[in-house]
Structure 1
Amino acid sequence: MFFGISHLVVPVTQLERSSALWCDVMGFAAVQRGDGFVDIDTGSASLRLLQVQAVEAPVALRLQVGDVLQSYQALLTAGLASRYAPMKTPQLEEMACVTDADGHAITLWRALTEDEWGFVPDLPKQGQWLAEAEDLLKRLLAHVPALFRMLARRKTTRVIEQLAQEAQSPVTRELVIKGYITASAKITRFRLVEPLRAEGINPADYQADFDYE
């Protein structure tokens, strides 16, 4: 029976040098030492640094970080060589890559937030929308924190299209405003006041929607 991968083995020619890189520079913990190996707990996977005379097959590791540039510069300062500097990819990630003394490639990466994408995603709409209505909702959603914006986009679009279906109408600017308000939890609707005002909309005209349960 298979239980899963316990370790990823990384062959190294100088065990203490590699252990210092992972522990002292990167901040991970050595959880076990034995004859010719050190086990490193990276938080998501265990690495076994294994002493060898020569590295025959370098490995490639992807390391998730909070700040790609800062991590990249820290590793360069520690003596690692650059493969490529931080860059944004079509997969909506920021990445950089370095090579350690044994030729192993360490890719540093993080997912880009929606604010960093450089484009506004399409709405997950199914019905007929007037262009001005779609543009308005995209601008209103830009006020939602990026971490929650995808969920808000899906829920708000669905509520607006339900209102349009009930009205037997294409999605209009008026329906967007009503759906934008009622799709939000009542306790948090006060946060919608400023985005609406920024669009020249008087929130007081939609008090019934703000009070909607």
Structure 2
Amino acid sequence: MFYGISHLIVPTTDLERAVTLWRDVVGFAEARRGEGYVDIDSGNVQLRLMQVPAIEAKVSLRLNVGDVRSTWQALLAAGAAPRYAPMKTPELEEMACVTDPDGHSILLWRALTEDEWDFVPELPKQQGEWTPEAEELLKRLLAHVPALFRMLARRKTTRVIEMMAAEAGSPVTRELVIRGYITSSAKATRFRLVEPLRAEGINPDDYRADFDYE
């Protein structure tokens, strides 16, 4: 029976140099030492740094980091060689890569936030007709939602607006977008919608009934 991967073997010709890189520069914890090896705890799998006379097979490790550029620069300062500088990818990630002194590739990456995308995502429309004015208004209003929660807000708000349009037997209009934008938010947090509405030239007082909607 298999229980999962316990270690990834990273051969090195200089054990203490490799330990310094992974423990002191990258910031992983040293877990265990033995004859000719040191285990480094990466949080979900251990790296076994193994002393060898020569590197016969190089490995490639992909690290999820909070700040690609600063981590890349820290690795370069510690003796790693650049392979490519931080860049955005079509997969909506930021990536960079270095080669450590033993020739192993260390790829750094993080997912881009929606604010860093070079485009505005389409609304997840499912039914009914949307006027161009209504669609563009909702995209602008949703831009005020923090990027971390924007995808969820986009789905929920679009669904609520389409339900309102179906009940009214109407295309999705600017008026329905405003009302759906308000009522799809939790009542306790609707006060946060006041400024985005005002920024679009909309008077929140005209929609008091929607702000009070349970």
Interval containing the TM-score (normalised by the shorter chain): over 0.9
* Aligned mates of 1:119, 1:12 — CA distance in 2: 43
Taking structure 1 as the reference length, the TM-score comes to 0.99
Amino acid at match of 2:83: R
Shift of 1:44: 2.3
Shift of 1:101: 0.9
Amino acid at match of 1:44: N
Q: Does 1:98 align with 2:89?
A: no
* Aligned mates of 2:199, 2:115 — CA distance in 1: 19
* Aligned mates of 1:44, 1:133 — CA distance in 2: 46
Per-residue CA shift, 1:22-55, capped at 9, x if unaligned?
1111111111000111000111221111111111
* Aligned mates of 2:20, 2:84 — CA distance in 1: 23
- Unaligned stretches of 5+ residues in structure 1: none
Shift of 1:176: 0.2
The structure 1 segments of at least 4 consecutive aligned residues displaced by more than 2 Å after TM superposition are none
Count of residue pairs brought into register by the alignment: 213
Match of 1:209 in 2: 210
Match of 1:55 in 2: 55
Shift of 1:66: 0.9
Taking structure 2 as the reference length, the TM-score comes to 0.98
Shift of 1:59: 0.4
Identity, % of aligned positions: 76
* Aligned mates of 1:46, 1:159 — CA distance in 2: 46
Aligned-residue RMSD, C-alpha: 0.6
* Alignment of structure 1 residues 120-139 onto 2, 5 Å: 120-127=120-127, 128-139=129-140
Shift of 1:152: 0.2
Q: Does 1:181 align with 2:192?
A: no
Match of 1:80 in 2: 80
Match of 1:22 in 2: 22
- Unaligned stretches of 5+ residues in structure 2: none
